[in-house]
Amino acid sequence: MQKLFAFLAALACTAVLAAAPVPTIVVDAGHNQVVQREGAQAQGYVVAPAASLRLDARKFDFTHAGYPNLKPDAVHVVIKERQYFAPWPKSGLLELSRDTLAAVNDGPAFDGFRAGDSVEIGIGKKDVDHAKRSISFKVQWAAGVTVK
């Protein structure tokens, strides 16, 4: 009976996270750490726990960000030691979720934004050099997110 109760409690917690509304982060210059003066900290975002997070950059002008001549094609998400990647859509709207984020370096699958997570999100241009077996990421917009 105790095992059944523990299973049902865990299932209920997962259902609550999945049922939470999807928080939206509007990408803007005020939160962009890339363009801050050295030593200055951009304002971070605060969101509630959720299974996914929507990034909305439809009104953001990337020509006024880091590497203004490049068009972003990737987003990277770092949560503690876990790293994730997704292609950046031309639409400028992307939901960061288990379905869209791929783990980097064989890390664990993405399992949502949990209370207490400190998240770094970067949008930019990803370059892969297959001959050198290297990847570079030119960050055009980056911000911190606290999940409370």
Mean pLDDT by 10 residues, the chain (148 residues): 47 52 94 88 94 97 91 97 96 98 94 97 94 91 97
Structure confidence at residue 38 (pLDDT): 85
Minimal CA–CA distance to 27: which of 68, 4, 67, 61? 61
**Edge to edge, what strands does the sheet with 82-87 contain?**
45-47, 134-147, 118-129, 74-79, 82-87, 102-103
Structure confidence at residue 13 (pLDDT): 45
CA 148 remoteness from chain centre: 16
Return the DSSP state at 66. Answer: S
The model's pTM is 0.83
Structure confidence at residue 142 (pLDDT): 96
Tell me how long the chain is: 148
CB 72 within 8 A of CB 124: yes
Q: Identify any residues that bridge with 87 across adjacent strands, giving them in sequence order.
A: 74
